[in-house]
Structure 1
Amino acid sequence: MGITLPLAVEPAAALDPDTLADLAAWALVEEAELTPKPGLVDRRGPGAHRDLDLDTLRRSARALRPAFRAMAEAARGRVPDQALREELAAIGRVGEIHMMAATGGSNTHRGAIWALGLLLAGTAIAGSADPCRIAATAAAIAQWPDRFAPQRASNGEKVRQAHGAAGARGEAQAGFPHVVAVALPALRASRSAGASETEAQLDALLAVMASLDDTCLLHRGGRPALEAAQAGARAVLAAGGTATPAGCAALQALDADLLARWVSPGGSADLLAATLFLDRIDRSFAPWNA
């Protein structure tokens, strides 16, 4: 998408809805292009998908940018309450329509609209680049019900009820623990250890996969697929991560297993995009915290 963000800007620019929307769209593209991801669309191909590819994900990210901007604009000067929660949800549903039009009906980023939309709003309200404060503010918004939500349960909601998983709603209401307490530390630890940015992002994804009850995996492959993905991710990390030969071999084995099962950790991918969003805000706008 060609989005280039500055390393440091004035606080007023950090609050600008256009900058935040660019960041959210960038995070979706960055996650999509990360290669090699187990079972997921990347530069190699569609992974365990018949209706998705990298170009489709790029189009989806571009189509969602106006919705992301509208969410950031709506949250400025507000506090977490039911009215804001419902306004963000309405914007998100319009964004989903545009996403489906851009992708020919493929559900590319429904979960990411929820996660990034809340974090965009949390950033605009919190007045801080600190990931924990942003996530806590997003959680305060997510606690409110949406009285106008469609009555038909999504696949994720059905899986959440069937398997007792927290799902996207529970993750948000808890303050995105797999982002702030799992993925961000893994990302930064890998960087500090000398891993490349690609390797660090892959390690962050695997850290999420190792413990998240990913409803995408549960929906398509049930508990056996989830347990296999979690065990495979832990094996990569135990081997030293993707920067090591043993870790790379374990990643290839995990990818082969997920493709054989025809399952994809889409929930983990959404949380990686959220992680990249918060990490870039924290690194780019660190003076804002003062």
Structure 2
Amino acid sequence: MPADALFGFLAAAATLWEVYAAPKPGLVDRFSSGAHKDMDFDLFVTSARSLAPQWREQARVGLEAVPPEKALTRLRENGLFMEKTMFSATGGINTHKGLIFILSLLLYGGGRCVAQKTPPAAVPLCHIASLPVRGCVAKELAPLRSSLPPRPLTHGEKLYLEHGVTGIRGEAEAGFPSLLHHGLPALKDALQRGSSFNDAALHCLLHLMLVGEDSNVMHRKGFLFWMEEYKQIVLDVLEQGSVFTTEGRSRLYSLDERFSSEGISPGGAADLLAATVFLHWCEETGSRFFE
């Protein structure tokens, strides 16, 4: 299988697996629509199917060894086309816009690894993925402190100005530390302990919820809630055993009920979960193809 096709397949599969994993607190999955009234499982599957043929284009940017300083332009052009495809498939509902940004960078990283004849292991892949967006916080967010644009600020821009939150821009520029140091170790640990992939994904999600700057949660429930109560209740599920104990699973189901009823949706963590699954499969499958 050509490298671009393999990477595209892994990205598409990770996108589908994220929505399939259940129960995810407040998020759309195969059990419920979570905190969302305008989305459901079928809509996410439709969106994922519309994007599936296009992921390989982002991997090709890396496979063609496009240097980081020129890669972002191509990735953005492809990404904008993917967004239009998504909105056309979903009737204008944003299901995967954040994930398009994240996976596009990771696909570039994977492709560039292969172009350099290096197995697409998580650490070098994430490092390369960060290079096209190095300096983006200083370029795109920092100027807001001295001059506001002639348009309404986005939620992310408001969070940066009010609380210094850099969100997914900061995560990507830093080389995806949440994936490398929290998501991927949690996923691997659960699998090594004999968990199903579904349960391993849920355990991974909880760890990502604990560390990621989730602007979705901040927007829906407030920055102080995210800083204090949100992290504590996620930590409580982990301390009670996560998916490995009866009590931990009970707390997880209760958390899903609460988030769904209160409109709390950790969509940023869901995107990071899909990205973590993609990284895991790159290491497990990609290395066999490209060593």
TM-score (norm 2): 0.88
Matches within 5 A, 1:35-50: 35-50=22-37
Report the alpha carbon displacement of residue 192 of structure 1 after superposing the two structures with TM: 1.6
Hey, what does 1:265 align to over in structure 2? 266
**Inter-partner Cα distance in structure 1 for 2:65 and 2:136:** 17
1:221 maps onto 2:221 in alignment: yes
**Inter-partner Cα distance in structure 2 for 1:160 and 1:245:** 39
1:246 maps onto 2:237 in alignment: no
Letter in 2 for 1:262: G
Hey, what does 2:146 align to over in structure 1? none
Q: Which moved more, 1:68-77 or 1:155-164?
A: 155-164
**Inter-partner Cα distance in structure 1 for 2:150 and 2:126:** 27
**Inter-partner Cα distance in structure 2 for 1:34 and 1:102:** 22
For residues 143-179 of structure 1, the C-alpha deviation after alignment (integer angstroms, 9 at most, x for no partner) is 165999x996543343333332221111001111111
Report the alpha carbon displacement of residue 180 of structure 1 after superposing the two structures with TM: 1.0
Kept in 2: contact 1:82–1:144 (CA 8 A):
no
Hey, what does 1:4 align to over in structure 2? none
Unmatched runs of 5 consecutive residues or more in structure 1 = 1-12
Hey, what does 1:283 align to over in structure 2? 284
Kept in 1: contact 2:214–2:266 (CA 8 A):
yes
Aligned length in residues = 276
**Inter-partner Cα distance in structure 1 for 2:161 and 2:38:** 26
Matches within 5 A, 1:139-178: 139-143=130-134, 154-178=154-178
TM-score (norm 1): 0.88
1:133 maps onto 2:120 in alignment: no
**Inter-partner Cα distance in structure 1 for 2:265 and 2:162:** 19
Q: Which moved more, 1:152-161 or 1:194-203?
A: 152-161
Unmatched runs of 5 consecutive residues or more in structure 2 = 141-148
For residues 70-123 of structure 1, the C-alpha deviation after alignment (integer angstroms, 9 at most, x for no partner) is 211222232443321111011101110110010011100111001000000100
Matches within 5 A, 1:191-202: 191-202=191-202
Report the alpha carbon displacement of residue 225 of structure 1 after superposing the two structures with TM: 3.8
Q: Which moved more, 1:262-271 or 1:54-63?
A: 54-63
**Inter-partner Cα distance in structure 2 for 1:267 and 1:160:** 16
Matches within 5 A, 1:37-186: 37-127=24-114, 128-143=119-134, 154-186=154-186
Hey, what does 1:211 align to over in structure 2? 211
**Inter-partner Cα distance in structure 2 for 1:288 and 1:162:** 46
Q: Give the direction of change, closer, same or farther, for the CA distance of 1:57–1:157 in structure 2 (3 Å limit).
A: farther
Kept in 2: contact 1:81–1:144 (CA 8 A):
no
**Inter-partner Cα distance in structure 1 for 2:5 and 2:287:** 19
Kept in 2: contact 1:129–1:286 (CA 8 A):
yes
Kept in 1: contact 2:182–2:207 (CA 8 A):
yes
Report the alpha carbon displacement of residue 224 of structure 1 after superposing the two structures with TM: 4.2
CA RMSD, 1 decimal: 2.2
Kept in 1: contact 2:136–2:173 (CA 8 A):
no
Letter in 1 for 2:270: A
1:19 maps onto 2:15 in alignment: no
